[in-house]
């Protein structure tokens, strides 16, 4: 049996923020180092290894320095392009150059929801 994963709501009508702190292994010293100066692409796919559902749910993350990357998919795009996936699993994908970093999101099961989760 597979490991239980957290279910992460992907709400329609709400900006989807991507805020990542990434590090890589320095090949010379074998020490972790901040992953800086890269062009990272993020998108939602209908399948585990698929292309973006639509260009509107695909973004290039901004390098904020020290291995931190940020971007967001506007809520209007979330609704327009993911409404037909309500109740279904989608897959966040992360690419840097020719490498996929899908393992960054492997601990979660991302399910499109009609409303944002309200935390009180």
Q: Are residues 111 and 88 in contact, defined by beta-carbon separation less than 8 angstroms?
A: yes
With CA atoms as reference, report the closest residue to 21 among 70, 67, 62, 71: 67
Question: Which of 42-51, 79-88, 96-105 is the least confident region?
Answer: 96-105
- Give the pLDDT score at 26: 76
The predicted-structure confidence for 60-95, as pLDDT tens digits, reads as follows 999 999 989 999 999 999 999 999 999 999 999 999
The predicted-structure confidence for 21-46, as pLDDT tens digits, reads as follows 988 777 788 888 778 888 999 999 99
Name the band, by pLDDT with cuts 50, 70 and 90, for residue 48.
very high
Residue 4 predicted with pLDDT over 70: no
Integer Cα distance of 18 and 15 in angstroms: 10
Residue 1 predicted with pLDDT over 60: no
Around 88, how many Cα atoms within 13 Å sit in the side-chain half-sphere? 12
DSSP 8-state assignment for residue 118: P
> What's the pTM?
0.84
Top-tier CATH class for 6-113: mainly beta
Pairing of strands 68-73, 108-113: unpaired
Integer Cα distance of 38 and 63 in angstroms: 7
- Give the pLDDT score at 86: 94
Pairing of strands 68-73, 32-34: unpaired
The structural domains of the chain, with segments of one domain joined by +, span 6-113
Integer Cα distance of 5 and 59 in angstroms: 25
């Amino acid at each position: 049996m597979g490991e239980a994963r957290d279910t992460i709501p992907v709400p329609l009508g709400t900006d989807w923020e991507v805020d990542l702190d990434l590090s890589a292994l320095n090949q010379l010293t074998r020490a972790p180092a901040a992953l800086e100066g890269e062009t990272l692409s993020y998108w939602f796919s209908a399948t585990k290894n698929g292309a973006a559902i639509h260009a509107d749910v695909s973004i290039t993350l901004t390098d904020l320095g020290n291995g931190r990357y940020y971007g967001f998919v506007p809520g209007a795009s979330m609704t327009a392009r993911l409404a037909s996936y309500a109740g279904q699993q989608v897959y966040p994908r992360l690419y840097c150059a020719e490498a996929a970093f899908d393992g960054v999101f492997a601990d979660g099961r991302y399910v499109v929801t009609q409303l944002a989760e309200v935390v009180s």
